[in-house]
Amino acid sequence: MKSRNLAIVAMSLVLAAGIISLVLLALALPGPAAQPTTNTGANKTPTAPAHHATTTPVPTPPLYVFAWHGVVSAVDVRTGKVLWHRQVSAQANERDFPVQHGDVVYCGTSSAIYAMRAGNGALLWQAPIGAWNNGFATINTSPIFGAQNVYFLTGPNGMVALRMSDGQKQWAVDGGSQRNDGYGAAGAPVLQNGVVYFGASTLYAVNAADGTVLWKYHDTTPNPADANAEGFAVNGAINVANGMIYFTGEDREYYALHAADGTLAWKYATNSVVAAFDGNQIPIVFGQGTLYYTNIVGALDAMTGKLKWSKTIGTQELGQTIFVSNGTFIYQNGQDVRGGLDMVAVSDADGHSLWSMSSPRCALYQPVQDANLVYMAGPLACGIDTTSGHLLWTSNALNDGGYVDVFAQRVIDGHLIAIHAFSSDGGEQNPKVTALNGTDGSVAWNIALP
């Protein structure tokens, strides 16, 4: 019995020794790779999972077109597909694009203003504003937007402010309809620091919130440089800068008013003036001595109205367009777009010549720019490098066989998009929309409007 117990004890000692050996061996072996731990302590830094940032491309909004026969169309600018169209009136002013603000599209006709859902064209509201004169082009420019209201230039009232949510009229101001052409207020209005500036035979500054007229300006002094000039009326864009209001008048004078109270800072008289605005100075085309002989270009000091420099350009009458590109003033030279035009570029510093080029039958009607390229559409569409003056391409795609009338054009996603029609013995045809590739002028797409 005693010997049996001794045997059991001995066996137990052997087993214990084996277990200890296995434990020691396990401790000596390399362990598994460390695993990420979940941070539950307040002082521990969590291990963030790997994350690769992705950029979601922003879709390009549609192009909205208001055709002469009163149909608003939304067009995909990539493909030319008509996404939707809606008849809202019997006639429209197709020289302006409907404007999208948020998810609403706004446009105007001779008797009403319309708001439509951008996604499907559903009519949200319409605001009658009354017929005026012959009912043509009561809405003259695209609207401007405030926090609560949308503002339209109109024929009968000069300007009307509508509440964006439901189209209710908030106020209206008579901007004067005494213009000889019968179109009422003209020139793109400006909204700045809670004040709307607009006008025709009178320039108005109006409180945007309630329509209170802060000041108004009208000039009855004859133009000393041109006894045959028409009476005062705002003509073209209104610019606000340097605490001043700048605009050209139909009396062929350039005006600068103090924005605070509308008093005259200076005006520059010529017998023909076409002007642009470029911050510290104003490039102009003007004539001296002979009526309409406007082959002189120059620049005015924006603060004083003093002529900084002037330069005679060739012997032709200069055209009605100036634009500014990267410190360069570019002028159209010549009037007959069917016979060819020249372009002249001068330095904005002192007027020295940079380049000139011939752009046959390319009209500088509302030139549109993209970086240092400018695009124009007329009987021919053109792409021009404004740095070198090189004609990059021309395209005859807009010419349907008659005299081309280009209503409007824009650059979107590298495409020159033009709304155009042609006139023939049968009258002006329904407009089309054509997109040209900005790089080479090839046709991306072309559609006839519904």
Q: Residue with structure tokens 């009258």?
A: 427
Residue 297 and residue 304 in contact, taking contact as beta carbons nearer than 8 Å: no
The contacts of residue 173 (CB under 8 Å, 6+ apart) are 157, 158, 159, 204, 206, 211, 213
* pLDDT at 9 exceeding the cut of 70: no
The helix (run of H) or strand (run of E) holding residue 7 is helix 2-28
Pairing verdict, β 253-258 and 264-269:
antiparallel
DSSP string, 208-277: TTT--EEEEE---PPPTT-TTPPPP-EEEEEEEETTEEEEEETTSEEEEEETTT--EEEEEE-SSEEE--
Q: 96: which DSSP letter?
A: S
Q: How many CB atoms are closer than 10 A to CB 290?
A: 10
Residue 116 has pLDDT above 90, yes or no: yes
Residue 152 predicted with pLDDT over 60: yes
Please tell me the number of Cα atoms within 13 Å of 25 on its side-chain side. 6
Q: Provide the pLDDT for residue 30.
A: 45
Choose between 437 and 44: higher pLDDT: 437
Give the pLDDT of residue 69. Answer: 75
- What is the pLDDT at residue 357? 80
pLDDT in tens, 169-188: 999 887 655 544 444 455 67
Q: Give CA–CA dist 178/248, Å, rounded.
A: 17
Q: Considering the chain, what percentage of its residues have pLDDT values greater than 90?
A: 25
Give the helix/strand (H/E) hosting 148: none
pLDDT higher than 80, residue 332: no
pLDDT for the residue 186? 59
Give the whole-angstrom CA distance, residue 272 versus residue 293: 8
Average pLDDT of the residues in 17-43: 40
The candidate with the shortest Cα–Cα distance to 99, out of 52, 150, 35, 143, is: 143
Task: List all residues 6 or more positions away from 5 whose beta carbon is below 8 Å from its beta carbon.
Answer: none
Statement: residue 36 has pLDDT above 80: no
Q: Which of 116-125, 206-215, 306-315 is predicted with the least confidence, judged by mean pLDDT? A: 306-315
Q: Is 42 exposed, middle or buried (0-12, 13-18, 19+ CB in 10 A)?
A: exposed
> Residue 151's beta-bridge partner residues?
144, 161
Query: Over 80: is that where the pLDDT of 338 sits?
Result: no
Q: What is the pLDDT of residues 47-86, one digit of tens each?
A: 445 555 555 666 788 999 887 778 899 999 999 999 999 9
Q: Which domains does the chain have, with CATH numbers?
A: 59-130 (2.40.10.480), 372-450 (2.40.10.480)
pLDDT digits (tens, 9 = 90+) for 387-427: 888 889 988 888 766 566 777 788 888 888 888 775 554 45
Between 80 and 220, the more confident residue is 80
For residue 185, the model assigns a pLDDT of 53
Residue 236 backbone class (left: φ over 0; alpha: ψ -120 to 50; beta: rest): left
Q: Is the pLDDT of residue 284 over 50?
A: yes
Give the confidence band of 210 by pLDDT, cuts at 50, 70, 90.
very high
Distance CA 108, CA 95 (A): 11
344-376 residue pLDDT tens: 888 888 888 888 887 666 655 567 888 778 887
Count the neighbouring beta carbons within 10 Å of the beta carbon of residue 1. Answer: 5
CA distance 360 to 357: 9
Q: Who contacts 107 (Cβ-Cβ below 8 Å, separation ≥6)?
A: 64, 66, 72, 88, 92, 96, 98, 99, 113, 114, 116, 139
- Helix, strand or coil, per DSSP, at residue 160: strand
Characterize the bridge pairing of strands 264-269 and 368-370: unpaired
Q: Given phi > 0 = left and psi -120 to 50 = alpha, else beta, which region is 211?
A: left
Token pair of 336, please?
């007959």
81-99 confidence digits (pLDDT tens): 999 999 987 766 555 578 9
Quick check: 271 and 252 in contact, CB under 8 A? Answer: yes
Measure Cα distances from 94 to 75, 156, 302 in Å.
15, 20, 34
**Do residues 178 and 158 touch, judged by C-beta distance below 8 A?**
no
Distance CA 388, CA 385 (A): 6
pLDDT of residue 92: 63
Rounded Cα–Cα distance for residues 155 and 178 (Å): 10
- List, in sequence order, every beta strand (DSSP E) within 326-380: 328-333, 341-347, 353-359, 368-370, 373-377
